[in-house]
Amino acid sequence: MTPPLLHLEDELTRLTLAPHLGASLVEWTLRSTGAPLLRPPAPQALENGLPGKLGCFPLIPWSNRIAKGGFDCPGGWLALEANSPNDPFPIHGSAWQQPWQVIEHSAQQALLQLDSQQPFAYCASLRIRLSGGQLQIAMHVTHLAEQAAWHGLGLHPYFPRTAGTRLQTRATEVWMCDEQKLPTGLGQVPEIWDFQQPRLLPDTLVDNGFGGWDGHCLIQQPDLGYELECRASGSEYFLLYCPVGLDFFCIEPVSHPVNAHHLPGRPGLRLLEQGQAVTLGFSMQCRLL
């Protein structure tokens, strides 16, 4: 038996959640046309338990990749193993690969909770709300282990990409990457990745972290009949992933850059003692065109 999905609905949109698959958002669509606001789920993604083939999933207690097989904490080295067949590094934390509990559920809201022991003890909650075409996600994580540890948060939404998709957002710096998709250094944002004004996505691969973000972006989808205005809190960075030749892209609000556990000063990470917490919020407001 497949665990039940949750359904939320407001006057404009419908949202489906899969608590058992890492609190993933399966799909978010317009009620009037069925147009996807997040990328539609891939065939058999639910049956095969693949959050990365759905619409969105949480990144807890870190975002993206960590090199060197782990990282230092005050209590010593925390060893990590690769957790995805598609990547040699530990990636995206542990929350996306565990079942969450449903604490509350109504027509327009859901509260999900995870009590995790991996890679250390923490409690995470996601409050998801639909209202007036706006999807609000509030993430709260409390460190429960006796030894302090470094925490980072993020969300990994997948957005539809058509020939007319345009992005507007601001960043002051970008991390260049090596062939392992790990950052090698900070640089100025090149013109082709400058989205201060709405522009089409590049035809070449982008898989980079950007800093100096104000938490705001606009995604224009004229071919689908709407635009999304997105706002993040607790996130001074975003990751932009534009694969070549595919029908989606990702702009991910995150609290820290890729491999921050091994960057000077551990930018964006928080060292939490037992009982301390960290939060991240993200809203996506749909407007019909």
Does residue 170 carry a pLDDT above 80?
Answer: yes
* Least reliable range by pLDDT among 1-10, 171-180, 185-194, 275-284: 1-10
- Quick count: other Cβ atoms within 10 Å of Cβ 196? 10
pLDDT value for 85: 87
Question: Which tokens hold the place of 184?
Answer: 């090698």
In angstroms, the CA 4 to CA 167 distance is 35
List residues bridging with 110 in a β-sheet.
105, 128
From the list 73, 113, 120, the residue with the least C-alpha distance to 93 is 120
Share of the chain above pLDDT 90, in %: 98
In angstroms, the CA 17 to CA 136 distance is 13
In angstroms, the CA 156 to CA 54 distance is 10
Show the beta-strand stretches assigned E in 201-236: 206-211, 216-221, 226-233
From the list 209, 207, 171, the residue with the least C-alpha distance to 191 is 171
pLDDT digits 0-9 by tens, 203-220: 999 999 999 999 999 999
Contacts of 106 (CB under 8 A, 6+ apart): none
pLDDT value for 208: 97
pLDDT value for 86: 85
In angstroms, the CA 62 to CA 236 distance is 14
pLDDT value for 1: 65
Q: What is the band of 237 on the pLDDT scale with cuts at 50, 70, 90?
A: very high
pLDDT value for 2: 72
| H helix or E strand, kind and range, residue 174 | strand 173-177
pLDDT digits 0-9 by tens, 121-166: 999 999 999 999 999 999 999 999 999 999 999 999 999 999 999 9
pLDDT digits 0-9 by tens, 105-121: 999 999 999 999 999 99
The residue-averaged pLDDT of 67-91 equals 94
The residue-averaged pLDDT of 278-289 equals 98
Cα–Cα separations (whole angstroms), residue 203 to 92, 249, 283: 26, 12, 27
Q: What is the mean pLDDT of the chain?
A: 96
- Quick count: other Cβ atoms within 10 Å of Cβ 272? 21
Cα–Cα separations (whole angstroms), residue 42 to 39, 93, 108, 143, 248: 9, 22, 25, 34, 12
The residue-averaged pLDDT of 52-56 equals 97
